[in-house]
Chains A and B, each alone.
Chain A
Amino acid sequence: GAVVSQHPSRVICKSGTSVKIECRSLDFQATTMFWYRQFPKQSLMLMATSNEGSKATYEQGVEKDKFLINHASLTLSTLTVTSAHPEDSSFYICSAREVGRQNYGYTFGSGTRLTVV
């Protein structure tokens, strides 16, 4: 089945630095990927839609300059948290839909736990 690899699974960074999270579709092409944020014991909140070869579309309230998204190929999207602060600490999850199979649901990565100290 479709597999989405997300890396790293855990990262600790210092306040003020930037951290990049990768989301790869391993065995399918994904023109669209989604980035979610999940706080402890809460639901997944959609942050942005990542489109291959074009600018990401951000949800209301999400700072596009803080959360930089790049979708340079059909199998890779990256989320860079810039100038991270402790309040950015969270669980970030990506998902991808296979071209032509979007109606079958999306495949999710295993998530990245970001801790900003």
Chain B
Amino acid sequence: AQTVTQSQPEMSVQEAETVTLSCTYDTSESNYYLFWYKQPPSRQMILVIRQEAYKQQNATENRFSVNFQKAAKSFSLKISDSQLGDTAMYFCAFMNHLDDKIIFGKGTRLHILP
């Protein structure tokens, strides 16, 4: 069974700083997708970034980028120039190509301080 581990329950950084959220996963599959979702206080799940396992190039979406290390099964999220609106719960997620279910990590609560 696939598992997703986020080892940082909570983090705080100053506005405009860069922060990296860690995520590791375990799978025996070779074809899969990884995601970072954001859940602000409204509790609406918002897709931040996605990565296909077969792509070596790290995904980037504006201030958000990932460091995907397939051999190490690591998928960290870097937020540059952090903003107050980035305050949220961040979930790392894994999707198996075979059954298309999304499995979530326990989440990291990120606080951006003014």
Contacts and interface: CB of A to CB of B under 8 A. Distances in A.
Interface of A: 32, 34, 38, 41-44, 46, 49, 91, 93, 95, 97, 102-108, 110-111
Prevailing SS type, chain B contact patch: strand
Interface of B: 33, 35, 37, 42-47, 50, 52, 91, 95, 100-107, 109
A106 B105 CA distance: 16
10 contacts: A38-B43, A42-B106, A44-B104, A49-B101, A103-B52, A105-B47, A107-B47, A108-B46, A110-B44, A111-B43
Nearest to B101: A46
Contacts, number: 48
Contacts of A46: 101-103
B45 A97 contact: no
Closest 9 CB pairs of A and B: A108-B45, A105-B47, A43-B106, A43-B104, A44-B104, A111-B43, A110-B44, A105-B50, A43-B107
Contacts of A44: 45, 91, 104
